Structure 1
């Protein structure tokens, strides 16, 4: 629909036929200086206007409390002929457009039925459309105004329209309106000029906005603020700070809006020193510490790691908004102070989904998936409706702990409530299904997504690698390159993992080399670990050790890489290299019980019992205890965790009885298998009727016990 309006706007006589490229304000067109002057915006409702006060009907109009009363006044205006007076009819349009009893649909009905609506009526209707529930209606209204032909748009017509183009990111429409502005010679007006800059930066055209700004002779503080904050929103914090310094050189005094952009830039760069300097500048210059500015400063300190200063600002705020509370919840959650974050959440006078998302996201970031899902259930009990961000956090939590049932429920919730499957949410779904074991559904979601980015492709590549589908993972990687997306370090981690699972040594070497040679990415520690694991599994132990020695010096002291080689030495029975690597690992981390156990087992496999005993004796002497294993199981959407000898579960007795019988059954089957090697198969024949099922309480696990 919007594109249709663009075509129709181009067809109107006011604008030149479609230019080949969007035009920008030239230096010549901007050279006409519009001196700053005080003027009253004619679109403001002035209920105390002398004409309004003298006319009983117009005076009564200002006191209306409902549309029904407005219609009665309109009827009287029609009967008395007052409706044909331009000023009187414009007051009627104005009241329906911007008053507390506004009704935009009725406003347009009045406007379209007036014989000769004046410019004020069109402008106030455009403003009303911009403030309505359907702001895109300004395009329709503007088109009607041009078709009417009785009024020429002025400098009050365009700012609200450009603001809507900025808010809805209507870049093409914005450029067509900009051509109208140039055609009418309104580009030198300071209000229109600032609205143009705001529209351009909001539509992602920062370079064009900067060109307009640099060539302009009619810029003021609003112009600087529009460009600075536009840079911040587009993630160009360094450019925003550089522009702020230029602003200071030119002697333009900043205001609170300027400093919000500056402080936000410091937060984005996580530059605490610069953030403190900005805060000090605000205090020294006596700028009004508005709530938005205080929130920005607090957010800066949180992101820069100074939680204490953020708390001080929070405590000193006389009035706190939900943004203020949420910033502190985010801060405490980010640094792992979850109890303090929970306390703040409970103390909030009003809570929407945002602070809940902040705390759930904090748990996920700290890899506390179980706690994140528990908080999500609490959020539901509080009748707080989750949004797409909540779903992304919860799906990430499901991926961490393997909670497939909860993930499936979230998937169904998304469909039931028609949540938009944006790239972030779709990627989280793909990742959850892949990590929780349902790669088929992961692929289905991947192909159903309306749009994908490099993270989506990375998730499916990693999922296929995790499920052992090495060739499919590489195929998707090549397809990702073909569609023009650039892989990152995580993408290559998935590719190398796929090569490792599939034993694809040559492919692994090739893609590892392409990281730097073709994609300008430098291998990190995990990439070296994958390559060492790949070479080690293939028995290429010398090449794996050589690769470790060729690593950057900061990586060579990492136990993960040496651990991959150590495991490969045991698998292939290379005791000599294994002993050397094992001692290296013990130097790096003398308290890692896994190294002692693996080294002792390697000696045992080689019948070197004396050395195996020495390793265990060394382990006891150093007071190293074997880390107990931990497992988890999901039952009816609840994840239960168990460690060795854990009896905390209320049904632990039944669980252990089940495990004992499962162990006996496995020992019996193993015994029968050994007999089968040396005996006739008929000796192993037995009737299935002699078996009875064993159930573990409420769990779905089942075994068979021989009678």
Structure 2
């Protein structure tokens, strides 16, 4: 954290500046992140300078349209001695750094060979690197400037450098550069000061940024906006709004950037009333509804589940960006309006990976995983490169379908494309392997992951529970807690399920109690259903029924189903009967309940009651739901129901089934003969 008193700053960095601030050795962190790539645009050359008007070479440079022409002019400037003029050199550097024919390597050589480039030359070169694919080189060029000496960085240098540090999250480097700013007496310059706030916010040092802001003797709207939007980016919506109210008290008028931050804050809080009020205030103030502001308003309405308001804004936009289109696609997908999402997606003039991800994720969320995977294949056919988010969604689809082969292919795809094995992707792989039946591979991926969070541990605990490895699941839970990770409600579903599969009644009771007493988690319906299942399987049916009565909410079909299953298992007709009738109240058309209740009566030799259940089923017109099964072949999942003839090769399938049935009958006959013999 940065010490924010100016005298303290000077003291802190005085060991770095024994003689001159330009002799400071800086340790530069080289990150691989990059800022958005510079888009070439014509350079607006200032031709009013007297030297340009009087010198034909510099006049020619204004009309230069290639590096080849520029090199010829450079050669002439060297031969005539004009290159020694600082202004003339700066024109060459500017051409190489920021023109549409930019060549930063050549720019670097110009600065290396010049005896004493002026500060404008260094600044324009730093800007060129800042806007390039490798903005970290802007900071490296600054180091070269300090080593070369001769030019003092000014209040234009440091905003560029802080912007580079902000984009790359170079917190340590920003701290060191801040020491130079203080030493040079530029700390109170408004442009530099705002850049300091921006870099601190971007590096997540909000307390430091706020202290700089509060102690500042110079402050403008940009300062307020930097802090407000900084709070929003860090998810601190309330702090952003409180700062805005303070801004209001001081009669500082907001602009479009302020409103983007405030609207985004209301989106984070999902406060639609506040969002509407801000929308109305924007129009009353006569502020421009810029594209970014409209996009923020659309996002706010979508997060507040008001899709119609977002749709109205979208349709009234005269110019829509890819962000506008994507925001609406995401909105429709999140609201489950997948057909609308697809229609809008197909209308998009250009599509990058983000709208594809939104659509695929929407189908996965709606449990339409086959269509999600079909979209993934279509995405590949469209030559759009998937990213980690795409793969996570596709792995979730595989988990839902039990499509292990597709999941393995996705894993190989990750390795082949050198995608970053981040925590989200690793967790999705663990979950997929566990749910698709390969717990050994799930454990291997888990152990090989470079980093894990509580979700990763939860995935492996639930996976082990699903595979009946109760003791292993509980062991992993204990290890998770011992390393300081806090379990959530999903983790406890895995733990209680493990206890259920392992018949660990006492441990299950203990963990259920710990949820609220130790971790402050109120048990949800699923936790109660796990406990009813655990107690019911173990034969503690009265205790299970008592838990249902003590629940703070109405039991659903899963809870009553768990009690019914336990009652059938232990032959307790009275409790089973009560549970079954509760299930029929919830869904009188569920054929499975009638069949199971009749079977339970039959097992207890209560044939009259069994006949009554069958008759009740006929009177209510309930038919037994046909069974459904699925199979995965060559990465494709096929689903079948009883007497299904929709598949084009159904005739061949039924021939094969008939042959297999005959073979089974032959085997049964042979077995019977051997027994008689």
Same fold (TM over 0.5): yes
Partner of 1:36: none
Secondary structure, in 3 states, of the residue corresponding to 2:529? Answer: helix
Q: Which ranges in structure 1 are unaligned for 5 or more consecutive residues? A: 1-7, 20-42, 684-707
* Whole-angstrom distance in 2 between the partners of 1:499 and 1:50: 86
Tell me: CA distance 1:660–1:576, structure 2 relative to 1, closer, same or farther (3 Å): farther
Q: Which moved more, 1:384-393 or 1:357-366?
A: 384-393
Partner of 2:657: 659
Partner of 1:393: 393
Partner of 2:603: 605
- Mapping for residues 468-617 of structure 1, pairs under 5 Å: 468-552=468-552, 554=553, 556-617=554-615
Contact 1:505–1:538 (Cα < 8 Å) also in 2: yes
Q: What is the CA-CA distance between 1:45 and the residue it aligns to?
A: 5.6
* Whole-angstrom distance in 2 between the partners of 1:95 and 1:75: 15
Partner of 1:620: 618
- For the aligned residues, what is the CA RMSD? 2.4
Q: Which ranges in structure 2 are unaligned for 5 or more consecutive residues? A: 1-12, 27-42
Contact 2:24–2:146 (Cα < 8 Å) also in 1: no
* Whole-angstrom distance in 2 between the partners of 1:54 and 1:502: 92
Q: What is the CA-CA distance between 1:17 and the residue it aligns to?
A: 10
- In the alignment of these two chains, the number of paired residues is 647
Tell me: CA distance 1:44–1:226, structure 2 relative to 1, closer, same or farther (3 Å): farther
Secondary structure, in 3 states, of the residue corresponding to 1:633? Answer: strand
* Whole-angstrom distance in 1 between the partners of 2:49 and 2:445: 62
Contact 2:139–2:164 (Cα < 8 Å) also in 1: no
Secondary structure, in 3 states, of the residue corresponding to 1:634? Answer: strand
Secondary structure, in 3 states, of the residue corresponding to 1:590? Answer: coil
Q: What is the CA-CA distance between 1:436 and the residue it aligns to?
A: 1.0
Partner of 1:170: 170
* Whole-angstrom distance in 2 between the partners of 1:655 and 1:94: 73
Tell me: CA distance 1:557–1:630, structure 2 relative to 1, closer, same or farther (3 Å): same
Q: Which moved more, 1:235-244 or 1:400-409?
A: 235-244
* Whole-angstrom distance in 1 between the partners of 2:25 and 2:381: 56
Is residue 161 of structure 2 the alignment partner of residue 161 of structure 1?
Answer: yes
Contact 1:270–1:303 (Cα < 8 Å) also in 2: yes
Contact 2:468–2:498 (Cα < 8 Å) also in 1: yes
Partner of 2:384: 384
Partner of 1:439: 439
Tell me: CA distance 1:213–1:377, structure 2 relative to 1, closer, same or farther (3 Å): same
- Mapping for residues 410-429 of structure 1, pairs under 5 Å: 410-429=410-429
* Whole-angstrom distance in 2 between the partners of 1:608 and 1:116: 104
Tell me: CA distance 1:438–1:47, structure 2 relative to 1, closer, same or farther (3 Å): farther
* Whole-angstrom distance in 2 between the partners of 1:621 and 1:76: 103
Secondary structure, in 3 states, of the residue corresponding to 1:418? Answer: coil
Partner of 1:370: 370
Q: Which moved more, 1:288-297 or 1:663-672?
A: 663-672
Contact 2:598–2:614 (Cα < 8 Å) also in 1: yes
Partner of 1:258: 258
Partner of 2:227: 227
Q: What is the CA-CA distance between 1:217 and the residue it aligns to?
A: 2.5
Q: What is the CA-CA distance between 1:449 and the residue it aligns to?
A: 2.1
* Whole-angstrom distance in 1 between the partners of 2:661 and 2:528: 39
Q: What is the CA-CA distance between 1:373 and the residue it aligns to?
A: 0.8
1:634 to 629, 632, 635: 632
* Whole-angstrom distance in 1 between the partners of 2:468 and 2:125: 62
Partner of 1:140: 140
Contact 2:426–2:446 (Cα < 8 Å) also in 1: yes
Q: What is the CA-CA distance between 1:557 and the residue it aligns to?
A: 3.1
Secondary structure, in 3 states, of the residue corresponding to 2:331? Answer: helix
Tell me: CA distance 1:148–1:651, structure 2 relative to 1, closer, same or farther (3 Å): same
Superposed CA offset, 1:243-302 (max 9, x none)? 222222221111111111111222222222211111111111111111111111122222
Contact 1:165–1:171 (Cα < 8 Å) also in 2: yes
Q: What is the CA-CA distance between 1:191 and the residue it aligns to?
A: 0.9
* Whole-angstrom distance in 2 between the partners of 1:254 and 1:239: 17
Q: What is the CA-CA distance between 1:238 and the residue it aligns to?
A: 2.2
Partner of 1:242: 242
Secondary structure, in 3 states, of the residue corresponding to 1:508? Answer: helix
* Whole-angstrom distance in 2 between the partners of 1:483 and 1:582: 44
Q: Which moved more, 1:657-666 or 1:110-119?
A: 657-666
Secondary structure, in 3 states, of the residue corresponding to 1:386? Answer: coil
- Mapping for residues 195-206 of structure 1, pairs under 5 Å: 195-206=195-206
Partner of 2:35: none
Q: Which moved more, 1:617-626 or 1:205-214?
A: 617-626
Normalised by the length of structure 2, the TM-score is: 0.91
Partner of 1:124: 124
Contact 1:237–1:265 (Cα < 8 Å) also in 2: yes
Contact 2:200–2:209 (Cα < 8 Å) also in 1: yes
Contact 1:9–1:143 (Cα < 8 Å) also in 2: no
* Whole-angstrom distance in 2 between the partners of 1:9 and 1:216: 22
Contact 1:129–1:138 (Cα < 8 Å) also in 2: yes
Superposed CA offset, 1:521-568 (max 9, x none)? 12111111111111111112122222222221x1x3322112101110
Normalised by the length of structure 1, the TM-score is: 0.87
Superposed CA offset, 1:209-249 (max 9, x none)? 12221222211111111111111211122222222222222
* Whole-angstrom distance in 2 between the partners of 1:439 and 1:557: 32
Q: What is the CA-CA distance between 1:670 and the residue it aligns to?
A: 6.3
Contact 1:240–1:265 (Cα < 8 Å) also in 2: yes
Q: What is the CA-CA distance between 1:12 and the residue it aligns to?
A: 5.2
* Whole-angstrom distance in 1 between the partners of 2:606 and 2:376: 54
- Mapping for residues 243-392 of structure 1, pairs under 5 Å: 243-392=243-392
Secondary structure, in 3 states, of the residue corresponding to 2:65? Answer: coil
* Whole-angstrom distance in 1 between the partners of 2:441 and 2:557: 36
* Whole-angstrom distance in 1 between the partners of 2:116 and 2:612: 103
* Whole-angstrom distance in 2 between the partners of 1:381 and 1:18: 51
Contact 2:116–2:151 (Cα < 8 Å) also in 1: no
Contact 2:398–2:404 (Cα < 8 Å) also in 1: yes
Q: Which moved more, 1:647-656 or 1:454-463?
A: 647-656
Secondary structure, in 3 states, of the residue corresponding to 1:625? Answer: coil
Q: What is the CA-CA distance between 1:157 and the residue it aligns to?
A: 1.3
* Whole-angstrom distance in 2 between the partners of 1:332 and 1:487: 32
Partner of 1:39: none
* Whole-angstrom distance in 2 between the partners of 1:439 and 1:10: 57
* Whole-angstrom distance in 2 between the partners of 1:504 and 1:459: 20
Contact 2:361–2:393 (Cα < 8 Å) also in 1: yes
Tell me: CA distance 1:299–1:74, structure 2 relative to 1, closer, same or farther (3 Å): same
